Amino acid sequence: MRTVDLGSQGLKVSAQGLGCMGMSQSYGVADDTVSLATIDRAFELGVTFFDTSDIYGAGGIYGFGANERLLGYALRGRRDEAVIATKCGIKGIVVNGMKFELGASPEYVKQACEDSLTRLGTDRIDLYYLHRVDPDTPIEDTVGAMAELVTEGKVRYLGLSEVTVDQLERAHAVHPISALQSEYSLWTRGIEAEILPALRRLGIGLVPFSPLGRGFLTGTVTTAEFSADDMRNSNPRFTAEAVDANQAIVAVVREIAAARGVLPGQVALAWVHSRGADVVPIPGTKRPTYLEQNAAAADVALTAEDLARLGTLAAQATGSRY
């Protein structure tokens, strides 16, 4: 896996990262042994950009901070080989894993960072995101506190998640932002009109989460039947009607995959990679086999015709993303 610049402040990461959330919540019962094996395999493949958050685990049986603890355990003895991204700003999950209690006062941010450092077993966080903007705290105040963490050496680079252009510009004026994390995939392209041009104007990298459409774009989701603790039960794109309608999207992805001799999920990820060198997707998985498939997508070459066909699919998506 090649290394790329994420943003224009000097942060270097593997061209594809590993989203770790599903190891602790949202997609059925987790298995720490298998998750740890997945992280081991990521190192072997050169995937060394790991994405977590203090809230990951609160939506499952493991509890707040569980995913950071798991990642910290996995990185013992090889911390310097990894780039750790974690987040603050969501204090709790209120209903069905889809409504958040937000908080990002300067005092809260600083304590959240200390707690994350402890759970991760490290003395610094490579990329510290504001997970969601706190409506009760000006973003300038939140980012100002995060900037102090950089000055103190506890954080190396700053990021944001799911913000508007105005919020992005205001934050960047306080301290350079290296990365924005937002949902982006073949069937979710809402950031292209305004956010993506702003990122490129400001020299900020994009880190797409859910680049596989929460698994749908792998072609493996054919019904709306999920385990009781799966977040897709409350997602509009995964109702029975939406799953049936959205099979037309997967049919095109499957056809292109068959022509290229690869898997549908690899085509979907290759499309994200094709968006630019400043785009670093973080597909999530808790299984080594799926990690291997995802990593291989970085080397899948799509033709101009493929990209043109894939580029029409977002308009066909049934159901809002939340």
| Rounded CA separation 213/103 (Å) | 28
| Rounded CA separation 151/147 (Å) | 6
Catalytic residue among 27, 56, 108, 290: 56
Give which of 27, 16, 91, 80 is closest to 55, Cα–Cα: 91
Cα 106 to chain centroid, rounded: 24
Q: Is 56 tagged catalytic?
A: yes
| Rounded CA separation 99/85 (Å) | 22
Give which of 67, 81, 15, 57 is closest to 36, Cα–Cα: 67
Give which of 233, 167, 224, 236 is closest to 199, Cα–Cα: 167
224, two tokens = 């709306």
Please say whether the dihedral angle defined by the alpha carbons of residues 54, 60, 61 and 67, taken in this order, is positive or negative.
Answer: negative
Region of 38 please: left (phi>0), alpha (psi -120 to 50) or beta.
alpha
Q: What are the backbone dihedrals phi and psi of residue 78, each rounded to the nearest 5 degrees, phi first?
A: -145, 30
197, two tokens = 């041009």
| Rounded CA separation 183/102 (Å) | 19
The residues carrying an active-site annotation are 56
